[in-house]
């Protein structure tokens, strides 16, 4: 005898359907309430001091004061953290003539990080007893200092802006390891060579070079010096050829004086 199939009446199904629907409705209600509470919490957060900027962190500042960068940014510590437009702040700070790059970012929960890249100071010029920095593009800053910064050589005699800008460009291309060895650079033009420059090095040597080939020939300086004995003093020529010219000694000076005297007597 075949087993009769069990038939569930619609009356038996209704309580289960009601229970399922009730669970779904409860879940929806919980979801809606959760979203509502989140929205309320966000509104309260945005209107409260919790959303204010508490720290402005500045990195990369060397010559431009951090307070000046912060002032340029327009960011105040009670400014809303989420109302800051990083690109707008970058444009404001980037308007400074000593800053070549800016990156602004948010760091949760309440810090704005500003990283700047400053134009390199490639030298200092002396005017009326004061020193003014020269940037990598040849611009002279309207800043007066009693002493040079010590991070770049002193440039003297560059009365023509054209030569000063060319010197700046050459120094920019020079490796820092070599640039740090230079104490002073003098523009010492001659009638047949307006590009002649004379360098005074921190190790006591004097170098004569051509402004036009300076950045390509000057990197060889450490190698040239390493081949000289420590007691040798003189001028290293790298303008046309490369050779060393020793300073005249007292003995050579006396011999030269005697020769001149003999010539005069003759």
CB 111 within 8 A of CB 53: yes
Task: Establish how many alpha carbons lie within 13 A of residue 246's alpha carbon, considering only the half-sphere containing its beta carbon.
Answer: 10
Rounded to the nearest integer, the mean pLDDT of the chain is: 83
pLDDT at 48: 64
- Please say if the pLDDT value at position 255 is more than 60: no
Please, which pLDDT band fits residue 5 given cuts at 50, 70 and 90? low
Q: Which residue has the higher pLDDT, 261 or 47?
A: 47
Tell the residue number behind the tokens 């690109």, with chain if given: 87
**Over the stretch 51-60, which tens digit does the pLDDT of each residue have?**
788 889 999 9
Length of the chain: 266
Q: What percent of the chain has pLDDT over 90?
A: 45
CA distance 5 to 15: 22
b/e per residue 129-161 (b: at least 16 CB within 10 A): eebbbbbbebebbeeeeeebeebbbbbbbbeee
**Which residues, including other chains, have CB under 8 Å from residue 100's CB and lie 6 or more apart?**
117, 118, 119
Structure confidence at residue 82 (pLDDT) = 87
Angle at 199 between CA 198 and CA 205, to 5 degrees: 115
- For 86, phi and psi rounded to 5 degrees? -55, -40
Mean of the pLDDT values across residues 220-236? 90
pLDDT (mean) for 156-163: 89
Most confident of 11-25, 192-206, 231-245: 192-206
pLDDT of the residue at 1? 46
CB 126 within 8 A of CB 68: no
> How high is the pLDDT of residue 14?
64
Closest-CA residue to 136 (of 168, 96, 183): 168
pLDDT at site 67:
94
**pLDDT of 199:** 97
Q: What is the pLDDT of residues 98-116, one digit of tens each?
A: 899 999 999 988 899 999 9
Cα separation, 202 vs 187, whole angstroms: 18
Q: H or E element: which one contains 159?
A: none
Question: Is 260 a residue whose pLDDT tops 90?
Answer: no
Name which residue leads in pLDDT, 123 or 34.
123
Q: Phi and psi at residue 130, in whole multiples of 5°?
A: -115, 160
**Cβ burial, residue 207 (10 Å; 0-12/13-18/19+):** buried
């Amino acid at each position: 005898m075949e087993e009769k199939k069990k038939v569930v009446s619609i009356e038996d199904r209704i309580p289960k359907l009601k229970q399922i629907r009730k669970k779904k409705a409860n879940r929806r209600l919980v979801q809606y309430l959760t979203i509502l509470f989140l929205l309320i919490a966000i509104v309260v957060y945005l209107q409260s001091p919790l959303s204010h900027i508490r720290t402005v962190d500045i990195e990369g500042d060397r010559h431009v004061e951090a307070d000046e960068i912060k002032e340029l940014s327009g960011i105040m510590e009670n400014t809303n953290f989420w109302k800051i437009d990083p690109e707008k702040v970058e444009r404001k700070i980037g308007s400074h003539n000593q800053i070549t790059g800016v990156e602004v970012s948010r760091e949760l929960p309440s810090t704005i990080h500003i990283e700047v890249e400053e134009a390199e100071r490639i030298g200092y010029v002396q005017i009326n007893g004061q020193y003014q920095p020269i940037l990598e593009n040849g611009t002279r800053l309207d800043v007066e200092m009693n002493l040079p910064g010590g991070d770049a050589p002193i440039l003297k005699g560059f009365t023509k802006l054209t030569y000063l800008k060319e010197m700046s460009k050459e120094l920019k291309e020079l490796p820092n390891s070599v640039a740090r060895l230079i104490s002073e650079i003098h523009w010492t033009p001659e009638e047949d060579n307006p590009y002649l420059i004379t360098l005074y090095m921190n190790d006591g040597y004097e170098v004569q070079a051509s402004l036009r080939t300076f950045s390509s020939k000057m990197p060889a300086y450490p190698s040239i010096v390493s081949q000289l004995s420590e007691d040798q003093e003189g001028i290293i020529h790298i303008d046309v050829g490369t050779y060393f010219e020793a300073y005249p000694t007292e003995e050579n000076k006396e011999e030269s004086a005697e020769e001149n005297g003999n010539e005069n007597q003759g």
